[in-house]
Amino acid sequence: MKKVITYGTFDLFHEGHYNLLKRAKALGDYLIVGVTTEYYDMQRGKLNVVNPLLERVENVKKTGLADEIIVEDHEGQKPEDIQKMGVDIFTVGSDWTGIFDYLGEFCQVVYLDRTPEISSSILRADKYPIVQMGVVGSGRIAPRFLSEAKFVSGVNVGAVYNPNSQSAQEFGRSHELDAYWGDFREFLEQVDAIYIASPHETHHEYARAAIEMGRHVLCEKPLTFTVARANELYDLAGENDVVLMEGIKTAFCPGFMQMMNLARSGVIGEVRDVEACFSRITQLGLREMRDREYGGAFLEFGSYTLLPIFKLLGCKYESVEFDSILADNGIDLYSKIHFRFKNALAMSKTGIGVKSEGQLVIAGTKGYILAESPWWLTKSFEVRYEDPTRIDKYSPKFLGDGLRYEIADFVSKINGTEKMSYCLTKEESVAMAGVVERFMEERKRRGRA
């Protein structure tokens, strides 16, 4: 008798799950299905799981395909089960290809094609329909979005759009997505929501077209380059009753929120200064270095550094001064932006041709918070005081590359389970567009001088 085992959360049970179980069963004579506990999903960073364990087990049972159902509640359980139960084949969907190769030591490992379209539900009442998403752009960030989206329950990324047909097709093939090019509306018709990861200057146009067609939009930073355009998009989203979110992933990382709340709690007294730095030496051939109009350090990383400044000191600064080191082609290799608020100062430092210490320092009247690089993921930070021996250390939870938290928030907003936009408010997003607008004007003025 050939024994097959597979594992999953099986939340919001859909035909992707059903097909997987059917094919898994067909691989042998006896199918064991491991269903994850809430605790294990929390440990492995699977977010937004809606159905409780018993309901998920019940849904697997209803398929009639499982000969035995077990629960999976800890890391490292798979090899234990396989050996203990004498399993011949471990199988899982192709979205996990390569990840479970290590189980080859214990049994045969088979990755089954995942089901790309999972539009209708088969066993459950449609309280939360699966959000069908499409990715716009297939550059450097898009693959990261895909691998993080699989850790968010209730979302299925099934399509990609790129005006370049070859890029769209190649990306679609390698990530099992339906590829679209040419007519953008044709792509929009296939999805409920889009993630915009195309070059900066295309964000506004894609976002507007999608919102007008009633699609939710998660847009990479910067959303737009002017206050007027940012307001236009948020107003349009309100009129069309869709979610519009600027994808500044730091805002959604659990540790960043904790750090902001701690800074506001009074442990360091009144916040008087926020200094944030983000730099990455960038290769000469890359877009950030080449694009005279929309490249440069501040447009690339400024959303990260402005975020803690606006969160802690508000969006109404009294003055702002820009200073940059420009390359021959006019892009800023390094920029310092100095803000004055009523009772506080702030500094944003961004670099693509200058490397500095990527840290965030929040200075208060009683102490300060220091978050070292990569503070934008906020895996750890410290609260320090006048007394140098007193240091409170924090190591918040952080999994993957942080994008999953942003995607989870986006999906919750679409489903209406998360109404408040406190992680990143519209006001903060519009204020950032305001700084970008002034920065671009200043750079143009300096370029002419």
User: Is 147 or 240 the residue whose CB approaches ligand C2G more closely?
Assistant: 147
**Residue number, 96 or 294, with CB nearest to ligand C2G:** 96
Burial of 77 (0-12, 13-18, 19+ CB in 10 A): middle
DSSP, res 435: H
User: Which structure tokens are listed for 307?
Assistant: 């975020």
d(CA 194, CA 213): 11
* For ligand C2G, the closer CB: 91 or 324: 91
Residue 177 or 432: the one with the smaller Cβ distance to ligand C2G is 177
Q: How remote is the C-alpha of 299 from its chain's centroid?
A: 19
Say if residues 307 and 435 touch (Cβ distance below 8 Å). no
Element (H, E) at 72: strand 68-72
Least distance to ligand C2G from the beta carbon of 315, Å?
38
Give how far Cα 180 sits from Cα of 132, 136, 138, 183, Å.
15, 9, 11, 8
User: In 332-371, which positions are buried (b, 16+ CB within 10 angstroms) versus exposed (e)?
Assistant: bbbbbbebebeebbbbbbbbbbeeeebbbbbbbeebbbbb
- State the nearest-atom distance from the C-beta of 160 to ligand C2G, in Å: 15
Which is nearer to ligand C2G, 59 or 162 (by Cβ)?
59
Please report how close the Cβ of residue 116 comes to ligand C2G at its closest, in angstroms: 7
Provide, rounded to whole angstroms, the least separation between the CB of residue 111 and ligand C2G. Answer: 8
The residues with which 4 forms a beta bridge, in sequence order, are 31, 89
The amino acid at 216: H
Neighbouring CB atoms inside 10 A of 392's CB total 13
What type of residue is 225? F
Q: How many residues does the chain have?
A: 449
DSSP string for 364-389 = ESSEEEEE-SSTTT-S-EEEEESSTT
Closer residue to ligand C2G, CB minimum distance, 171 or 310: 171
Please give the Cα distance from 243 to 312 (Å, whole number). 25
Residue (147 or 425) nearer to ligand C2G, CB:
147
Q: Which residues bind ligand C2G (CB under 6 A)?
A: 6-11, 16-17, 20, 36, 46, 72, 92-93, 95-96, 114-115, 118, 156
Residue closer to ligand C2G, measured from CB, 19 or 258: 19
Residue nearest to ligand C2G (CB): 93
d(CA 70, CA 41): 15
Start-to-end CA span in the chain (Å) = 81
Name which of 70 and 262 has its Cβ closer to ligand C2G: 70
Name which of 16 and 358 has its Cβ closer to ligand C2G: 16
Q: How far is the CB of 6 from ligand C2G (least distance, A)?
A: 6
Strand partners, 196: 136, 219
Residue 150's SS3 state is coil
Output 40 or 256, the one with its CB closest to ligand C2G. Answer: 40
| Burial of 199 (C-beta count, 10 Å sphere; 0-12/13-18/19+) | middle
Q: State the minimum distance, in angstroms, from the CB of residue 9 to ligand C2G.
A: 4
